[in-house]
Amino acid sequence: MTFLDTSETLARILEALPPGHRLKEPAVEFNGSTDGLLQAEGDAKRVKDALGWPGEFGILTASGNQADRYLLWLGSRAGMEGRRQLVLYPPPGRYKIEYWTKGDGRLEGVEIGTSAPLVLGPPGNGPYIVLIQRLA
């Protein structure tokens, strides 16, 4: 699995969505810190075990008054069909998770989760652009 930096993540998301898609504008604005979202930051093996199924993984976070919003890039990986769980550690709360497809930018799935941790269950093997928003 490859961990993408902010610029690589932004490039994947913008390239994956069709022109005028509603997630393109927030993607460009998201630039906050991802500190703590992956609780295992200093422990690469735990991160790999928790996120083992995507081929690529990247996070963009909102800042300021939108700080509880995240955009993820989950690149697909051959041979990992059926293993689709992702564990993140945002601040405690309830979150809405939307899974958008690459290319046509279609909404493929929505779920509500509670943190911490926040366990995501993507509807397929992706690739996906994932929007996570904290619910009030």
Mean pLDDT of 58-85: 75
Helix (H) or strand (E) holding 53: none
Cβ-contact 60, 99 below 8 angstroms? no
Burial of 49 (0-12, 13-18, 19+ CB in 10 A): exposed
What is the value of pTM for the model shown?
Answer: 0.83
Q: Which two tokens stand for residue 122?
A: 């993507």
Residue 45 has pLDDT above 50, yes or no: no
The more confidently predicted of residues 55 and 6 is: 6
- Domains (ranges, CATH) in the chain? 2-134 (2.60.40)
